[in-house]
Structure 1
Amino acid sequence: MTAKWSVTKIVGDHLRTLVDDRKTRKPIRVRDILAFYGLPLLVLVLIIIPEFNFSWLAGVPGYRQLAAFRVNGLEGILSGISIYTALLFGLLVQIFQIKSRYLDNGEYSSDAMDLNDALEANVSYAVLTGIIATAYLALVLATTVKDNPAGRIPSGIIAFLVVHLLVTLFMILKRARSVYSHL
């Protein structure tokens, strides 16, 4: 990818925050990777697996309900995700202002700056995820007959993106509290 629109640094910076202690350079926690990617992937698989009609699953409790799952109200979901993404972008500006205040005053600890940098990486990643989810939802909406639910595979992908964004937002909330406690 060209450097002007490459998102690899955003993803890399976010992944580097998935450690217990950045100062000791501990490796990324597998548990965090499972939470951020495994949980949404599990939701995706559970939603799309009936598409492949594995008859041996028919006796599993909840399989029929899962087989009937489709995302409805695509317009509302698209609106919600796009608004949330815009609000996250506003939060990104706020994080920049906090860092500027730290640097201008000269009154900051390395811990506070590290937390602020981690928060910036996580919010940037959430904005990226929101942009991808918004674009995908717009594509699904454009290719789905009005007032009809999305297909099973698009429903699974939408669920993956929404769950992934929610888990990321939970981490942002926790990090924001940590940053503000260091002000």
Structure 2
Amino acid sequence: MSIKWSVAKIAGAHFKTYWDASKDRPMASDYLTFIGLPLLISVFAGAMTHFDHFHLRDVSKLIGGMGVFTGLLFGLLTNVFTLSLRVRRDEGLDSEHVVVKQVRELFFNIAWAVVVGCALITALVVAAATHSTTSALGSIWTGLLSFLMLHLMFTILMALKRLWYAHEKVAKLPVKQK
């Protein structure tokens, strides 16, 4: 795979945030929350579609909104990058300081959210291009779109938690002496 468009490092960095650093092992609760729960719900949504109880129609209406949302996430990513520079350079914090670690993990999570957002937009475009606005999407499409949307939303909530935590910790940093 070309290094120019590979997202393997972004994925690796993001999923490494699911690890318990103190025990050097993955946290099962994170994998269950961010992968298992969206997968379970998307399988349920696909099954409900298969049994004619749930229908997604005209997903083309979601493309613009998700495109704007992903663009805003990309803007947030650049702001977090600036924040990471600021806490390292301006505050002179060590790379292992709790604030620096949280901002680094926040950066990884938002970068992954941008990747998932792009995947979701691509899936929405393909689904909209291959289905009429009046016909319902099949169970596979329903499951895939549900999974991507839920995984994106859970990742955004995790990023919000990390941003909140970093905000609390930055406020408690000692005042710099001039």
TM over 0.5: yes
Q: Identify the structure with the greater helix proportion.
A: 1
Note if contact 2:49-2:55 (Cα within 8 Å) is conserved in structure 1.
no
Which residue number corresponds to residue 119 of structure 1?
Answer: 106
1:128 matches 2:115: yes
Structure 2 residues not aligned, in runs of 5+:
171-178
In the other structure, the counterpart of 2:169 is 182
Partner of 1:4: 4
In the other structure, the counterpart of 1:17 is 17
Maintained 8 Å contact 1:47/1:153 = no
The equivalent residue for 1:29 is 27
Task: Give secondary structure in 1 for the equivalent of 2:19.
Answer: coil
Contact 1:88 1:126 in 2 (8 A): yes
Q: Which amino acid aligns with 2:54?
A: F
Task: Tell me if the contact between 2:34 and 2:154 (Cα under 8 Å) persists in the aligned partners.
Answer: yes
Count residues with an aligned counterpart.
168
3-state DSSP of counterpart to 1:130:
helix
Within 2, Cα distance between the matches of 1:101 and 1:73?
44
Q: CA RMSD in A?
A: 1.8
> Quick check: 2:88–2:100 contact (8 Å CA) kept in 1?
no
In structure 1, stretches of 5+ residues that fail to align are 53-63
Instruction: Give the aligned residue type for 1:85.
Output: T
Give the AA of the match of 1:45: V
What is the percent sequence identity of the aligned residues? 30
For normalisation by structure 1, the TM-score amounts to 0.84
Q: CA deviation at 1:51?
A: 6.9
Deviates more, 1:101-110 or 1:140-149: 101-110
Q: Name the CA distance, whole Å, in 2 between partners of 1:182 and 1:68.
A: 47
Q: State the one-letter code of the partner of 1:30.
A: A
Show the counterpart of 1:74: 59
Contact 1:112 1:179 in 2 (8 A): yes
Q: 4+ runs of 1 displaced by more than 4 Å?
A: none
Report the Cα distance in structure 2 between the residues aligned to 1:51 and 1:89, rounded to whole angstroms: 33
* TM-score, normalised relative to structure 2: 0.86
Alpha-carbon shift at residue 25 of structure 1 (Å): 5.1
Query: Within the alignment, does 1:92 sit opposite 2:74 as a pair?
Result: no
| Paired letter, 1:143 | T
Alignment partners' CA distance in 2, 1:169 and 1:84: 11
Q: Are 1:146 and 2:133 matched, yes or no?
A: yes
